Structure 1
């Protein structure tokens, strides 16, 4: 018997629910300015905002994961377990990086400097993690190759790997 059918689906649901409720709870704790001093060698005051962004991203990613879990419950196979387990963690980190990229000016978007606007952006990054990764791939292609991915390149600077640039490069 497949272990996913016995308790796996329930375990994934509980895992996502813990992340969802835990992210809400941690955002409330951080919003109350309760954490003070150092925690595991980290100055909480210095990283307070980034922790809020991370948990907002995890909240968005977990909400999306719960939605997908609900929609595809019957079709859930073991190949998707890793996706469900890693989604909150990856969304936590990507939300923080998104805010850093916007604050640095590398990614341009008119977002208010308020905390609520940045938390909203972090949440949307978590919820739309797949789209965020596509944009990040486009950004790195443009940034490091000097080309946009919309010109027929495969992300490695050539047009699909045939070595001639796919006819899109100018001499």
Structure 2
């Protein structure tokens, strides 16, 4: 019998629920300010906002994973195990990086400086992780190659030079 059919589906579901509930709980703990000490060499007083963003991203990733688990329960095969296992972890890191990119000005979006606005962006990054990776790929292509996805250079004239066409 395929291991995914025996206990795999229950394990994946439990794993995603633990990430979902755990992320909500950790955001509450970090938001309450009761966890302001060093843990494993990390001073949470300095990084607690970024931890909140990470857990918001993991929450979005776990929610998306639970949605996909529900929609594709019958078609679930062993090839998807790593996708389900890695989704919350990748979304945790991606959410933090997204906020750093917005704060640095590299990615532009008109969002207020409130904590709830940044947590919302982090959550959406986790939920839409695939779309985020596409945008990140476009950003790096534009940033390092000077071209965007539609084949024009940065000034949009498409002739490969930095001077406008006449």
CA positional deviation for 1:35: 0.7
Verify: 1:170 aligned to 2:164, yes or no.
Answer: no
Alignment of 1:22-61 (within 5 A): 22-61=22-61
Verify: 1:143 aligned to 2:143, yes or no.
Answer: yes
Structure 2: how far apart are the matches of 1:37 and 1:119?
Answer: 22
Structure 2: how far apart are the matches of 1:101 and 1:146?
Answer: 18
SS class of match (2:106):
coil
Matched pairs, number: 157
Structure 1 unaligned segments of length 5 or more: list them: 153-167
Structure 2: how far apart are the matches of 1:17 and 1:124?
Answer: 18
Structure 1: how far apart are the matches of 2:55 and 2:8?
Answer: 25
Verify: 1:74 aligned to 2:74, yes or no.
Answer: yes
Structure 2: how far apart are the matches of 1:75 and 1:37?
Answer: 45
Alignment of 1:1-171 (within 5 A): 1-151=1-151, 170=160
CA positional deviation for 1:170: 3.2
Structure 1: how far apart are the matches of 2:66 and 2:2?
Answer: 22
- Give 2:155's aligned residue: none
Report the RMSD for the aligned CA atoms in angstroms. 1.4
TM-score, normalised to structure 2, is: 0.92
Structure 1 residues 151 and 35, CA gap change in structure 2 (3 angstroms): same
TM-score, normalised to structure 1, is: 0.89
Structure 1: how far apart are the matches of 2:69 and 2:121?
Answer: 23
